[in-house]
Amino acid sequence: MLVRILTGIIGIPFVLWILISGSFIMQMVGIVIGAIAIMEYFKAVSSIYKPMNLLGFLLITGFFAFFSFFIEYYQVYISLVLLSVLIYGVLTYPKYTITDIAATIFGVIYIGLLFGLIICIRNLTNGLFWVILLFVCTWGSDTCAYFVGRAFGKIKLAPQLSPKKTVEGAIGGVIGASLMALIYCFIMNSIGYVAFSMTEIFIIVLSSCIAAVLSQLGDLVASSIKRFAGAKDFGKIFPGHGGVLDRFDSVLLTTPFIYLIGYMLN
């Protein structure tokens, strides 16, 4: 647990610096993080599938390198992913099966578009508020669920996917994330960065509860991939936390919802 806490203490200020720096720095970091994440995913599923490693790597890094274009014309990117993977599958036939092709496409879309939405959230009006809220909800939920589960957890939440997760921990995660979101809203309001009404704050806090649930589902989605592939963790880049996907799994599934709330309230 000590290693996990120390990694968080070191990592959180670095993440804050990246978020404050703006979309260009986030885009550059996205190239690196996206590349590591897709390699982690391909390594995990390689026990049962034969993913197109090089092509997937190029599609992810290319997405973040030309992010402004691809996120505006995301239909072009999705079409490019589908066409390139399918054509490569034909050219190398019979090296890759249809399930190998599907596993490659899923990894590129899952990692590329959902990680990319973090930058989209940052580009919203008051984007810094919303992108920090994303991490308050997800990592706040993770932290509260972890400690509440250790202290009071008895009922298993999803024993086949994640044996250590409990119902009590999940509830604690939702409550903890909503309280953190409330405190965060009042702090940002008090320093004048945002000027939300009490109604808007209520909507944000309520949304944070939903975001906390989504973050826990995101964790279980990643766990299902690992269990299916027979992997314990996606990687070891973050001591005590695992790989990039282990640390960001709860964030990924929450990004569309936070983007939607931020867009609507703006």
Q: How far is it, in rounded angstroms, from Cα 105 to Cα 111?
A: 10
**Is residue 1 over pLDDT 70?**
no
Using one digit for the tens of pLDDT, what is the confidence trace for 212-248?
A: 999 999 999 999 999 888 888 898 887 767 899 999 9
Burial of 88 (0-12, 13-18, 19+ CB in 10 A): middle
Q: How far is it, in rounded angstroms, from Cα 67 to Cα 3?
A: 34
Q: How far is it, in rounded angstroms, from Cα 7 to Cα 222?
A: 21
pLDDT at 132: 97
Which pLDDT band, with edges at 50, 70 and 90, does 266 fall under? Answer: confident
Q: Which of 30, 48, 26 minimizes the C-alpha distance to 38?
A: 30
Which pLDDT band, with edges at 50, 70 and 90, does 65 fall under? Answer: very high
**Is residue 199 over pLDDT 70?**
yes
Alpha-carbon distances of 183 from 121, 180, 206, rounded to whole Å:
20, 5, 13
The least confident of 40-49, 129-138, 234-243 is 234-243
Burial of 163 (0-12, 13-18, 19+ CB in 10 A): exposed
Q: Which of 253, 247, 254, 217 minimizes the C-alpha distance to 137?
A: 254
Q: Which residues of 181-203 are buried (b: 16+ CB within 10 A; e: fewer)?
A: beebbeebbeeeebebeeeebee
Which token pair is 232?
A: 């314990």
Domain ranges of the chain: 2-265
Q: How far is it, in rounded angstroms, from Cα 255 to Cα 113?
A: 10
**Is residue 210 over pLDDT 80?**
yes
3-state SS class at 233: coil
**Is residue 4 over pLDDT 70?**
no
pLDDT at 2: 65
Q: How far is it, in rounded angstroms, from Cα 83 to Cα 202?
A: 44
What predicted TM-score, i.e. pTM, was given to this entire model? 0.92
Alpha-carbon distances of 222 from 50, 76, 93, 139, 157, rounded to whole Å:
19, 27, 30, 15, 15
Average pLDDT across the chain, whole number: 93
Burial of 54 (0-12, 13-18, 19+ CB in 10 A): exposed
Q: What is the CA radius of gyration of the chain?
A: 19
Above pLDDT 70, what percent of the chain?
98
